[in-house]
Amino acid sequence: MKVLVTGANGFLGSRIANYYGQTHQVYTYGHQTLDITSLESVEAVFSIVRPEVVVHCAAISNTGYAQEHPEESHQVNVVGTTNIAKASMKHGAKLVYMSSDQVYNGTRALGLLPEEAPLSPVNVYGKDKLEAEKLTQEILPSAVGLRLTWMYDLPTSTMKLNSNLLVNIKQAFDTHTPLHIATHEYRGITNVWDVVKQLEACTELPGGIYNFGSENRLTCYETFTQTARLLGYGDIEQLIIADDERFHAQPRNLSMDITRLRSHGIDFPDTIEGVMNALQ
């Protein structure tokens, strides 16, 4: 199968390219080799590769950077994604593209959130991802949009690492620098390899939006402290500090319900179980 991967130099894209490159013809493009904000450039690449499947990971995913550079974020995260959708439609390729749990940032509901939950994202990145979803599904109804959680890999990985659950905890204990973690925030956190290994199955999903990652009913503070214990650290209360003020007035909830995904035979362990599996 001929697979085109955008954002192939990033945290997720590099792992997708590495994993599926062992069994498929994978063509990789990063921002230096493909300007997704140019429809002409995108269509030129598609004409050369003629992909059967497109895995679109390219994005400005740093929420702080997106907030400070809204025009650039819109060009990459919205215009770039719709350009990929247009080219996929023209060339008859199955499109699987990455969205984000940040579309839920701003909801007032608690508990696990289904895809149809009312949405009113509060940051630029979340707004752009939601707009990209809507436009992409209008252009190409067969496209599969995956709302991803925050992801992690083991700190010992030789591949590109991001600021993530395991890395941040390790750094805190190595440097004796406390982490202040909100007790009024909820979000799933997922092993990136659980995402990578289940992507091929997504090519068989009906078009639409899917929550794609580990569920989590714990607060972020509980998630961090339980993970630190699994990592074998002591004196946890000294280096993982409960922040009771942040989001006190309105809890922040990004925790996703993956019932729709399960109905198609794809599943994830919950956040803590996923950490246990990764550490084994």
- pLDDT tens digits for range 185-221: 999 999 999 999 999 999 999 999 999 999 999 999 9
Taking the alpha carbons of 226, 232, 236, 240 in that order, is the dihedral positive or negative? negative
- Token pair of 230 as six digits: 């699994």
**From the CB of residue 47, how many other CB atoms can be counted at a distance below 10 Å?**
11
**What is the pLDDT, as a whole number, of residue 76?**
98
Averaged pLDDT, 45-58: 98
Averaged pLDDT, 256-265: 98
- Residue 93: band (very low, low, confident or very high) from pLDDT cuts 50, 70, 90: very high
- Residue 52: band (very low, low, confident or very high) from pLDDT cuts 50, 70, 90: very high
Averaged pLDDT, 230-259: 96
**What is the pLDDT, as a whole number, of residue 149?**
98
- Residue 71: band (very low, low, confident or very high) from pLDDT cuts 50, 70, 90: very high
- Residue 174: band (very low, low, confident or very high) from pLDDT cuts 50, 70, 90: very high
Percent of the chain with pLDDT over 70: 100
- Token pair of 220 as six digits: 């972020």
**What is the pLDDT, as a whole number, of residue 211?**
98
Percent of the chain with pLDDT over 90: 99
- Residue 254: band (very low, low, confident or very high) from pLDDT cuts 50, 70, 90: very high
With beta carbons less than 8 A apart as the criterion, state whether 224 and 121 touch. Answer: no
**What is the pLDDT, as a whole number, of residue 122?**
96
- 232: exposed, middle or buried (Cβ count in 10 Å: 0-12, 13-18, 19+): exposed
Q: How far apart are CA 66 and CA 77, in angstroms?
A: 9
- Residue 163: band (very low, low, confident or very high) from pLDDT cuts 50, 70, 90: very high
Averaged pLDDT, 148-175: 96
**What is the pLDDT, as a whole number, of residue 114?**
98
Q: In whole numbers, what is the pLDDT of the chain averaged over residues?
A: 97
Alpha-carbon dihedral of residues 36, 85, 4, 91, nearest 10 degrees?
Answer: -120
**What is the pLDDT, as a whole number, of residue 21?**
96
CB contact set of 263 (below 8 Å; sequence gap of 6+): none
**What is the pLDDT, as a whole number, of residue 253?**
98
